[in-house]
């Protein structure tokens, strides 16, 4: 655990204006953020330039999605090359909203992961089960299958963060208990050990997402296999700093 740098991502989703994001960036830039924690903020596409130029360089910026090719007749999409051209180094892929609202398949997400990594974008790759899947006892089956497709498209794991986000806990106020989060993270690490390598299992950061707040972040962060968070709504609020400092 000590060798894996704590990672906190903020997924701003389809939120923010120039004015509100300027206020948020000022708050982050002037706050005392734990030096050992890596922080990355996922901004809406139209604000990537604004956010990258406005945030302190110590804070990374992510796009919230990208397509699987470099250019072409794909109206409404953006490419890893465009993201890099904005000075941005990260992308969030496979988020449950992309899967379940926009119908992205495991195969498409895998193709996006491969293309992003080929273009030197680091990837926050999201996996997670829906409520009915957890209730049916198929959590492991679902997250292992999602992870398998991602793993098939990764050559360099140093540029990948795996985000476990139980869909039933995103934006609902429900959170997986620390024990529930740790159990899935532990099993994911064991899966990586069996199916990828010991080195990857020991080094890759597996972060938790799903209604993380300043109230529950410290207990979640204390779990051996929880290496950080992907934070939704709370990343737009002052309490995001408390979550960043969960291990301080």
Q: Which of 95, 104, 115, 129 is catalytic?
A: 95
DSSP codes of every residue in 37-61: SEEEEEE-GGGHHHHHHHS-TTSEE
Q: What burial letters (b/e) apply to 12-37, b meaning 16+ CB within 10 Å?
A: bbeebeeeebeebbeebeeeebeeeb
Q: Which of 38, 97, 129, 165 is catalytic?
A: 165
- Say whether 95 is catalytic: yes
Query: Do the Cβ atoms of 43 and 25 come closer than 8 Å?
Result: no
Torsion of CA 43, 45, 50, 54, to 10 degrees: 20
- Say whether 165 is catalytic: yes
Helix (H, G, I), strand (E, B) or coil at 230: strand
CA distances from 4 to 1, 98, 134, 176, 202 (A): 5, 28, 28, 22, 8
Say how far apart CA 176 and CA 212 lie, in whole Å: 9
Query: Do the Cβ atoms of 163 and 201 come closer than 8 Å?
Result: no
Q: Which residues are catalytic?
A: 95, 165
């Amino acid at each position: 655990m000590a060798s894996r740098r704590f990672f906190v991502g903020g997924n701003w989703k389809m939120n923010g204006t120039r004015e509100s994001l300027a206020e948020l960036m000022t708050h982050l830039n002037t706050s005392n953020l734990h030096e050992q924690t890596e922080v990355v903020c996922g901004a809406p596409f139209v604000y990537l330039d604004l956010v990258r130029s406005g945030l302190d360089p110590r804070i990374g910026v992510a796009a919230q999605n990208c397509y699987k090719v470099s250019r072409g007749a794909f109206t409404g999409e953006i490419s890893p090359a465009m993201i890099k051209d904005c000075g941005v180094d990260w992308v969030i892929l496979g988020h449950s909203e992309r899967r379940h609202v926009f119908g992205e398949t495991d195969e498409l997400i895998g193709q996006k992961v491969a293309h992003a990594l080929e273009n030197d974008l680091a990837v926050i790759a999201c996996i997670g089960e829906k409520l009915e899947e957890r209730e049916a006892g198929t959590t492991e089956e679902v997250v292992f299958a999602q992870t398998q497709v991602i793993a098939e498209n990764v050559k360099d794991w140093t540029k990948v963060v795996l985000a476990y986000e139980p869909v039933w806990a995103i934006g609902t106020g429900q959170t997986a208990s620390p024990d529930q989060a740790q159990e899935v993270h532990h099993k994911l690490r064991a899966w990586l050990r069996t199916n990828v390598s010991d080195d990857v299992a020991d080094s890759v950061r597996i972060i938790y997402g799903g209604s993380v707040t300043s109230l529950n972040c410290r207990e979640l962060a204390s779990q051996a296999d929880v290496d950080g968070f992907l934070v939704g709504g709370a990343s737009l609020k002052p309490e995001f700093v408390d979550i960043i400092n969960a291990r301080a």
